[in-house]
């Protein structure tokens, strides 16, 4: 009979027997589901394997009527107190051993997190929830969880070997598809078919590039982004290129797909920021183009979007090439000082006035132009009266000596405001 996850702690003899069973399981062609199920059944706990973003890769089934059980409480903790669990995961990864989080109340479940180590990388985490009535019970569960995590590492290590071989093949095919010159249409279609891409369909490219503070980006960070893109966008062909992860996504330039891909890229960036705070990530999304030969155009757009995001840190965290507008021209200026110098030539006195006196003239001009010169809409955006907006616009003209009724002055101010925004307000 299968033990219910609330059946209580196990003793030392059971721990030794269970670790032996787990070791035997590692010699077979087992999967994560078998490891987690064995731990849950024999240790009387609820278990799950999660990735860096705390998304479950596999979990033990919840027994009927599980409300109030460790299974139910662990689910609640993972969903409602992600910061605490993320801190425990980060600590376990850093210390490279299992750590426990005691129960906060008599009816609550304690957690144990053990890193799943493949080589030098923590590729996943085994989390168990249960009741530990004393220190002996807690120590036993830590031993079981840590040993089970070693078996999970064997399983994932096998997968990694296969994934590395497949990844190298995908990378070579991708490079041939978008980077090699003098290609015939038949060559391009052939590479696309080998990648599993419909040569006649429309595809767009999402690039997530990683830039560490020093040296090369951590392989674990790249692997994490690759895994997140592959699991959350199963229709995409995901390619790990060492310092960037590329997703070839089928579909047209519709608003919903753009929203979904932007949200996914943002999720990847947030996960990188939490786990690898010294690594900066920038995401760029190209347009959809028909035919395999045009995939290179979408990749080029996504890469340009990334380059623009790196140059202009004040832009959105995920750069959509189709929405860049005039910023595409700014990217041709490789020295940000040139852009900043132009902005200060036009708006320097106004920027200094705002900083010195706490006024909002630059912000008011941005709102005014953003609302196509409508005082009413600009005032609603800034939560003030239209007369206040009109006064600030007039004062901005006096301070800068510019005439906003002049086409050339108005254009210069709007371009300067875009530069100020793109550079994060500090030209």
Name the phi and psi angles at 426, rounded to 5. -135, 70
Q: What is the CATH classification number for the domain harbouring 123?
A: 3.30.450.40
What is the SS3 string spanning 297-354?
HHHHHHHHHHHHHHHCCCCCCEEEHHHCCCHHHHCCCCCHHHHHHHHHHHHHHHHHHH
| Distances from the Cα of 117 to the Cα of 53, 112, 141, 151, 247, angstroms | 16, 16, 19, 10, 26
| Residues 145, 17 share a domain | yes
Name the phi and psi angles at 127, rounded to 5. -120, 130
249 within domain boundaries:
yes
Containing domain of residue 362, as a range?
336-422
| Residues 316, 378 share a domain | no
| Residues 152, 18 share a domain | yes
Name the phi and psi angles at 399, rounded to 5. -70, -40
If you compute the radius of gyration of the chain from its CA atoms, what whole number of angstroms results? Answer: 27
| Residues 212, 85 share a domain | no
Q: What is the pLDDT at residue 180?
A: 59
Q: What is the pLDDT at residue 223?
A: 84
Question: DSSP characters for 63-103?
Answer: PTT-TTSHHHHHHHHHHH-HHHHHHHHHHHHHHTS-EEE--
Report whether 293 contacts 312 (CB < 8 A).
no
DSSP state of 216: S
191 within domain boundaries:
no
| Residues 355, 272 share a domain | no
Q: What is the pLDDT at residue 108?
A: 63
Q: Which of 330, 347, 379 is the last residue of a domain?
A: 330
CB atoms within 10 A of CB 279: 16
Q: Is 135 exposed, middle or buried (0-12, 13-18, 19+ CB in 10 A)?
A: exposed
| Residues 396, 292 share a domain | no
Separation of first and last alpha carbons in the chain? 70
Q: What is the pLDDT at residue 3?
A: 39
Q: CA 314, CA 70: separation in Å to the nearest integer? A: 44
Q: Which of 297, 330, 363 is the last residue of a domain?
A: 330
Report whether 252 contacts 288 (CB < 8 A).
yes
Q: What is the pLDDT at residue 75?
A: 57
Q: CA 72, CA 46: separation in Å to the nearest integer? A: 9
Q: What is the pLDDT at residue 326?
A: 76
236 within domain boundaries:
yes
Q: CA 32, CA 57: separation in Å to the nearest integer? A: 9
Q: Give 21-74 pLDDT, tens digit per residue.
A: 888 888 888 888 999 999 888 888 888 898 877 888 888 776 444 445 555 555
Q: What is the CATH classification number for the domain harbouring 345?
A: 1.10.10.2840
Report whether 226 contacts 163 (CB < 8 A).
no
What total number of domains does the chain contain?
Answer: 3
* 21-46: burial string, b at 16+ Cβ within 10 Å, e else: ebeebbeeebbbebbbbbbbbbbbbb
In 3D space, the residue among 59, 43, 42, 217 whose CA is nearest the CA of residue 124 turns out to be: 59
Q: What is the pLDDT at residue 207?
A: 94
Q: What is the pLDDT at residue 71?
A: 53
Low-confidence ranges of the chain (pLDDT < 70): 1-11, 62-81, 104-108, 132-137, 161-170, 180-183, 214-217, 253, 331-332, 334-336, 424-427
Q: Which of 281, 303, 330 is the last residue of a domain?
A: 330
User: Can you tell me whether residue 203 is helix, strand or coil?
Assistant: strand
Q: CA 141, CA 112: separation in Å to the nearest integer? A: 8
23 within domain boundaries:
yes
169 within domain boundaries:
no
| Distances from the Cα of 330 to the Cα of 314, 399, 414, 415, angstroms | 13, 26, 13, 10
| Distances from the Cα of 47 to the Cα of 40, 76, 142, 260, 282, angstroms | 6, 14, 12, 30, 34
């Amino acid at each position: 009979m299968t033990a219910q996850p609330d059946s209580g702690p196990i003793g030392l003899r059971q721990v030794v027997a269970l670790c032996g069973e787990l070791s035997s399981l590692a010699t077979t062609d087992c999967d994560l589901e078998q490891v987690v199920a064995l731990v849950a059944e024999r240790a009387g706990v609820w278990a799950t394997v999660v990735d860096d973003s705390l998304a479950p890769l596999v979990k033990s089934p919840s027994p009927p009527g599980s409300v109030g059980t460790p299974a139910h409480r662990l689910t609640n903790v993972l969903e409602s107190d992600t910061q605490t669990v993320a801190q425990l995961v980060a600590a376990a990864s850093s210390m490279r051993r299992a750590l426990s989080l005691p129960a906060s109340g008599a009816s609550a479940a304690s957690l144990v997190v053990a890193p799943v180590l493949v080589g030098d990388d923590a590729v996943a985490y085994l989390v168990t929830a249960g009741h530990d009535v004393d220190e002996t019970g807690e120590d036993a569960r830590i031993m079981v969880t840590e040993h089970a995590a070693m078996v999970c590492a064997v399983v994932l290590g096998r997968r990694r070997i296969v994934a590395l071989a497949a990844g190298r093949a995908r990378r070579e095919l991708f490079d041939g598809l978008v980077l090699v010159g003098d290609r015939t249409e038949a060559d391009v279609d052939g590479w696309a078919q080998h990648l599993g891409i419909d040569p006649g369909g429309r595809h767009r490219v999402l690039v997530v590039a990683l830039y560490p503070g020093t040296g090369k980006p951590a392989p674990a960070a790249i692997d994490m982004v690759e895994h997140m893109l592959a699991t959350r966008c199963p229709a995409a062909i995901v390619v790990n290129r060492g310092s960037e992860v590329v997703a070839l996504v089928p579909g047209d330039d519709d608003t919903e797909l753009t929203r979904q891909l932007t949200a996914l890229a943002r999720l990847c960036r947030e996960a990188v920021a939490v786990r690898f705070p010294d690594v900066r990530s920038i995401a760029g999304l190209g347009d959809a183009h028909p035919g395999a030969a045009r995939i290179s155009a979408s990749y080029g757009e996504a890469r340009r979007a990334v380059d623009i995001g790196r140059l202009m840190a004040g832009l959105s965290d995920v750069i959509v090439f189709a929405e860049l507008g005039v910023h595409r021209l700014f990217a041709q200026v490789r020295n940000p000082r040139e852009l900043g110098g132009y902005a200060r030539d036009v708006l320097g006195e106004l920027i200094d006035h705002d900083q010195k006196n706490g006024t909002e003239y630059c912000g008011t001009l941005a709102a005014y132009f953003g609302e196509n010169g409508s005082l009413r809409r600009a005032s609603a955006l800034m939560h003030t009266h239209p007369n206040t907006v009109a006064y600030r616009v007039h004062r901005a003209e006096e301070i800068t000596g510019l005439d906003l009724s002049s086409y050339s002055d108005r254009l210069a101010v709007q371009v300067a405001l875009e530069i100020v925004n793109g550079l994060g307000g500090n030209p």
